[in-house]
Structure 1
Amino acid sequence: MARFNRKGTTKIKFLPTIASTTLLPTRAEITAGTDLTENISAIEGWSIANTPIETPDMESTFVKKIDGDDSAEDSSLTLYEDSTLDTIETDLAKGTVGFMCIFSKGDVAANKGLDVFPVKVASNSKAYTTDNEAASITVQFVITDRPALNQTVPAMT
């Protein structure tokens, strides 16, 4: 098993549209998206959690469980703010809908590990501080439907 570091490998892109109902983007849709990778300083969420259901019965003192509803974890990206461009403020403005694509093993054709989350931007907030740190913006997302996980990255054109 070959281990790797997500930093330097994983790519994260915001796509405004994906035509396929299976959420598998085309190479053209990926190219039309915004590559956020270089500007991300922190990432939270982007996973699915299950709420198990307890199913006790009279036969046992052990409380068994079955899988219940799935839900998305609260998800956000903290990005470095650009002093001249407003790409983050405009492409990820509050209310914007689209698709967050996380290429966990890189944007490499035929690799598995492409996770696609249908999203809506819930907030886009600048951080103000007197601390000695780079200016940043935190973008909070709501995941609006079941994501497509572990897809195959489409071929380069």
Structure 2
Amino acid sequence: MARFNRKGVSKVYFVPTIASTSLIPTDAEITAGTDYTGQINAIDGFSLENTPIETPDMASTFVSKIGGDDSAADSSLTFYEDSTLDDIETDLAKGTSGFIVIFSKGKTPGAKGMDVYPVTVVSNSKAYTTDNEAAKITVQFTVTARPVFNQAVPTAG
């Protein structure tokens, strides 16, 4: 097993539209999106969670469980704020819908590792602090439909 560090390898894009109902973007749709990788300070969420259902019975004192409803974790991206541009504030304004596409193992055409989350921006907030740190903006997303995981990165064409 070859281990790796996600920093410097994984890529995070915001893609405004994906035509396919399978949520697999084309190379052109990804190119029309924005690569935010270099502006991201922190990533939170972007995972699938399950609420198991307890299934006790009279034959045992052990309470077994079965899989229940799936939901997406509360998800956000924290960006470094730009002192001259306002792309994060305008491109990811509250109410904006699109797709967060994460290339977990890099953006190599044909390679597996592409995760796609249909999202809507629910909050875009500047972080104010007196601490000695770079200015940041946190964008909170709701995941609006079941994401797809570990898909092949599309090839140009």
Aligned counterpart, 2:111: 111
Deviation of the 1:113 alpha carbon: 1.0
The amino acid of 1:131's aligned partner reads: D
Q: Which runs of 5+ in 2 are unaligned?
A: none
Aligned counterpart, 2:58: 58
Work out the CA distance in 1 between the residues paired with 2:156 and 2:85.
28
Deviation of the 1:156 alpha carbon: 3.2
1:99 maps to 2:131: no
Work out the CA distance in 1 between the residues paired with 2:114 and 2:70.
19
The amino acid of 1:134's aligned partner reads: A
Aligned counterpart, 1:155: 155
CA deviation vs aligned residue, 1:9-52 (integer Å, no higher than 9, x gap): 00000000000000000000000101110000011000001000
Structure 1 stretches (4+) deviating beyond 6 angstroms?
A: none
Aligned counterpart, 1:77: 77
SS of equivalent residue, structure 1 residue 112: coil
TM-score (norm: length of structure 1):
0.98
Work out the CA distance in 2 between the residues paired with 1:153 and 1:18.
14
Contact 2:10 2:103 in 1 (8 A): yes
Aligned counterpart, 1:6: 6
Work out the CA distance in 2 between the residues paired with 1:90 and 1:156.
29
Aligned counterpart, 2:129: 129
TM-score (norm: length of structure 2):
0.98
SS of equivalent residue, structure 1 residue 7: coil
Contact 2:28 2:156 in 1 (8 A): no
Identity rate, percent: 72
Count of residue correspondences: 157
Q: Which runs of 5+ in 1 are unaligned?
A: none
